[in-house]
Structure 1
């Protein structure tokens, strides 16, 4: 049985949603790659905005604390996954392995027909 995520369907859900709205209202730059986030993109677009847990929940990070949340692009957050990053340059400096493959599409220059 999969563990229950407290920020999705547990006791931290309300506080997480409040903090998510706060971050969306005050932040404009991805905390992982450092590039601007365009709020006109909606999921499942790779550059759509999402909330990243700086210290992943499964590594002991708090599920709803504002100090543990940051704005991120969906694709940056997926690439980071449950890793701990020390600097914003860490993604570019990681060793390439079968778990951490480079992106084959430059999503920052991707033009969608649906927008």
Structure 2
């Protein structure tokens, strides 16, 4: 069962996060904060640790995101998602 959320608090957190116009916390790309709310690239608030996984409904557990990124993430944690790993090495592969 999900926790009841206060819409006043939700709106306050949404405005607070948008104030700095941060990039998407999921993909890292810029967000167009003026897009209509149903646009896939529109600004939404993402719970970093989903409420369904025990995350708190607090601003410290929220980040700005694109609607499409947030939908793709769904209620998964970083460990639950397949991630692209980047390996750094000093080896010169073309010599």
Question: Is the shorter-chain TM-score for this pair beyond 0.5, marking a shared fold?
Answer: yes
The aligned counterpart of 2:20 is 26
Does 1:42 pair with 2:36?
A: yes
Structure 1: unaligned runs, 5 residues or longer? 94-115
CA contact (8 A) 1:80 1:91 kept: no
Q: In structure 2, what is the Cα distance between the partners aligned to 1:55 and 1:13?
A: 19
Q: RMSD over aligned Cα, in angstroms?
A: 2.1
Relative distance call for 1:4 and 1:61 in structure 2 (3 A) is closer
The aligned counterpart of 1:82 is 75
Runs (4 or more) in structure 1 with deviation over 6 Å come to: none
Q: In structure 1, what is the Cα distance between the partners aligned to 2:28 and 2:42?
A: 14
Relative distance call for 1:38 and 1:15 in structure 2 (3 A) is same
CA contact (8 A) 1:39 1:48 kept: yes
SS in 1 for 2:78: coil
TM-score normalized with structure 2 length: 0.76
Map 1:62-73 onto structure 2 (within 5 A): 62-63=56-57, 65-73=58-66
1:16 offset after TM fit, Å?
2.1
TM-score normalized with structure 1 length: 0.64
